[in-house]
Amino acid sequence: MSFSRLTSLGRAILGSLRPDARAMEFLRYLGPGILVTVGFIDPGNWASNVAAGSEYGYSLLWMVTLSTVMLIFLQHNAAHLGIATGLCLSEAARTHLPAPVALPVLLSAVGAAVATALAEILGGGIALTLLFGIPPRLGCVGVTILVAWMIVTNSYRRLERWIVGFVSLIGFAFVFELSQVEIPWGQALEGWVVPRIPSGSLPIVMSVLGAVVMPHNLFLHSEVIQSRQWNRESEEVIQRQLRYEFLDTLLSMGIGWAINSAMILVAAAAFFSAGHTVTALEEASALLQPVLGPAAAGVFALALLFAGLSSSLTAGMAGGSIFAGIFGEPFDMGDRHSRIGVALTLGGALLAIFFITDPFQGLVISQMLLSIQLPLTILTQIFLTASPRVMGPHANSLEENIVLGIIAALVILLNGMLFLSFFGLFPG
């Protein structure tokens, strides 16, 4: 179904309900998009945003706007697959692609989930060091144990509530941080809508734009959506859920846009104006204290902890979903394949952390691995959602395929440039 038809249908459905009924109906379907949002505000994004704001002020805010628009379309397309087929992306690939094609894609996606979890757990460990002086590796062990316990003992709906809570706390933290600084809103508004690439900023532009769309989030969104099995109801219900899912995605990605923007705004106001270039999260927290006071530094570290926990949760869930999909199964912690997938994701990430001597280098390596795998996931997703054999009457329209193709090409290009830049093969 095309975006225009989807919008028209949504207006008709919403128009048939009273305002209070529309609000209550929408709230029933709010949640899956929030799970995806945490991948958009993970510790890796924090590092890129703080570097962008501290070094280039407000001039790179447009990156957040562009990346959010790309993310909305790709994540909606992944959710579209789950609603229409009742299969997550991993199950659909295993079902509809030849095994010699599906298995390398899915196994590499498990590896990408491990790489993602590495960065998220590392961010949580850094936050515990900043807050309590706990050694980083010991903090990473604590984060891993807590996240594993939450995944094993909670259902989807309870996990959604946990993550909505974490994201809310992160948002409140940055509202507090913004209240402590003076923002030139005219410059900020211009930065959001006018693309600029200042001299030397290309690596940061690529790191923010190229790493926003993460493979595990595409798998996770389709999994959480299909777990509700709306496709087993009537065609009318499927159409309505497509609309509400799109609203959920818009709202959730809007929250991610606001929080990422706030990171750059705070970094620009606190560091750029004072001539401090920040290249590490620990450094950002240390510099905030003399500039804005100890409360600001503490709130920053606490928000980083919430970001690390929530994004580690979603990485572990995604890893379990992808691994279960290899065996044609949905994510279910009562099933051993899902449990093995979660254990591989979180355990593999923690093990890798113990072999990393430089945390920043660990983040770089994780982003390199994502850059390699992402094209496989995006192209697989678009192939499946464009196929009438897979999607039936809900296959992508021509205009959807064109838009998704352009976005996919841009994301893949940016990730390729990011990968090359790590080896000094692309000028910055």
Q: What is the pLDDT along the chain (428 residues), one digit of tens a residue?
A: 444 554 454 444 444 445 544 544 544 555 567 777 887 788 878 888 888 999 999 999 998 999 899 889 999 999 999 888 889 999 999 999 999 999 999 999 999 999 999 989 999 999 999 999 999 999 999 999 999 999 988 766 677 778 888 888 888 898 898 988 899 999 999 999 999 888 888 778 877 776 678 899 999 988 888 765 555 556 766 777 777 788 888 888 899 899 999 999 999 999 998 888 887 777 788 778 777 778 888 898 999 999 999 999 999 999 999 999 999 998 988 899 999 999 999 999 999 999 988 776 677 677 778 878 989 999 999 999 999 999 999 999 999 999 999 998 988 888 777 777 767 776 65
Task: Read off the tokens for 199.
Answer: 């001299």
Contacts 24+ apart (CB under 8 A), 356-363: 356/122, 359/122, 359/126, 359/136, 360/47, 360/279, 360/280, 362/118, 362/119, 362/122, 363/43, 363/44, 363/47, 363/119, 363/122
Q: How far apart are CA 244 and CA 25, in angstroms?
A: 9
Written as one string, the DSSP assignment of 263-325 is HHHHHIIIIITTT----SHHHHHHHHHHHH-HHHHHHHHHHHHHHHHHHHHHHHHHHHHHHHH
Q: How far apart are CA 376 and CA 352, in angstroms?
A: 23
CB 370 within 8 A of CB 206: no
Query: pTM of the prediction?
Result: 0.85
Give residue 13's pLDDT.
Answer: 44
Residue in 254, 159, 203, 224 with CA at minimum distance from that of residue 368: 203
Task: Read off the tokens for 237.
Answer: 């219900």
CB 120 within 8 A of CB 362: no
* 3-class secondary-structure state, position 426: coil
Exposure on the CB side of residue 280, measured as CA atoms within 13 A: 12
Write the single-letter amino acid at 117.
A
CA angle 61, 217, 71 (to 5 degrees): 35
CB 261 within 8 A of CB 64: yes
* 3-class secondary-structure state, position 213: coil
Rg (CA), the chain: 21
Residue in 347, 292, 344, 286 with CA at minimum distance from that of residue 320: 344
